[in-house]
């Protein structure tokens, strides 16, 4: 069986978001769809997977609602199930920035299609900002992009307020181009800058994933791989699976040389998280790894912890 994974989000006013949860969850369970959907007053954000007909049935159901009629999704394929549970969660934000009053529905920057992105970021007058977390940037980014070196998206506003490259010169703010994995973070980031008085703010339509899908590798300004929040771990040009491996403890890609580090233990820790997890957490991870190996030896599926999967906020 081939699994179809779809990722989608839409900023849209959704005051009745909580009332939408039961019917959506029931449909996904009926269709045996797995993954996670976030609903919030500002919209919807999701990554789900399953049999192609079932996944497309869920998309069709959403698009019959006028508020989701413009929903755009991205597809990828795998021979193993990317998720093992289905969750529909209610959130304050579909991607957490923590700045009240930011409204991407009306205040986001200008979309730039992937085929026009190279020309924009090659302009020396444009400040190019990677809005993703530091471990994502570490394995790949666009040539010349600034790395805010943030641990979470909610740290971006403070960085933007202090970044020298974003300060006004001679009373004029710079032209800014922002990007992220699938579009959701840069859409909210550009809304933040516009709220702060930036006039020329742009973001990559469909994010890095759409760029890698659309732009031929020979013409690409992307270097490295793109981290994705599912079992593929990373993808490259053409959305082909990358070479990155995942730490099952911190859910981040293993840093270079991790496998040779004394702080690496399969399923338990890596150099990124060794010093931040307690001995109790490490013992729990060892037991989980033991159970996973036991299930594998019996040709069974071990679904692990709820926290092990379903991260979609970082699209």
Active-site residue numbers?
Answer: 180
The sign one gets for the Cα dihedral 246, 295, 77, 40 is: negative
């Amino acid at each position: 069986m081939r699994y179809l994974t779809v990722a989608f989000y839409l900023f849209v006013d959704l005051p009745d978001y909580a009332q939408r949860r039961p019917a959506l969850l029931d449909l996904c369970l009926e269709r045996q769809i797995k993954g996670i959907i976030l609903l919030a007053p500002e919209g919807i954000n999701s990554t789900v997977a399953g049999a192609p007909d079932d996944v497309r049935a869920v998309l069709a159901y959403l698009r019959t609602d006028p508020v989701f009629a413009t929903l755009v999704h991205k597809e990828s394929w795998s021979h193993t199930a990317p998720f093992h549970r289905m969750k529909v969660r209610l959130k304050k934000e579909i991607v957490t920035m923590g700045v009240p009053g930011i409204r991407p529905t009306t205040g986001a920057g200008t979309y730039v299609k992937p085929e026009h992105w190279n020309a924009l970021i090659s302009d020396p007058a444009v400040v190019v900002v990677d809005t993703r977390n530091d471990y994502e940037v570490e394995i790949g980014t666009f040539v010349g992009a600034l790395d805010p070196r943030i641990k979470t998206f909610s740290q971006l506003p403070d960085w933007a307020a202090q970044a020298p490259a974003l300060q006004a010169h001679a009373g004029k703010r710079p032209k800014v181009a922002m990007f992220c994995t699938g579009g959701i973070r840069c859409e909210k980031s550009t809304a933040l800058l516009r709220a702060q008085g930036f006039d020329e703010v742009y973001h990559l339509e469909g994010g890095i994933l759409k760029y890698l899908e659309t732009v031929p590798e020979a013409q690409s300004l992307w270097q490295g791989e793109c981290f994705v929040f599912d079992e593929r771990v990373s993808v490259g040009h053409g959305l082909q699976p990358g070479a990155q491996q995942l730490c099952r403890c911190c859910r981040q890609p293993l840093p270079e040389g991790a496998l040779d580090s004394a702080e690496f233990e399969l399923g338990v820790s890596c150099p990124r998280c060794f010093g931040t997890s307690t001995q109790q957490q490490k013992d729990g991870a060892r037991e989980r790894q033991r159970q996973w190996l036991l299930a594998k030896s019996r040709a069974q599926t071990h679904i692990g912890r709820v926290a092990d999967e379903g991260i979609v906020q970082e699209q």
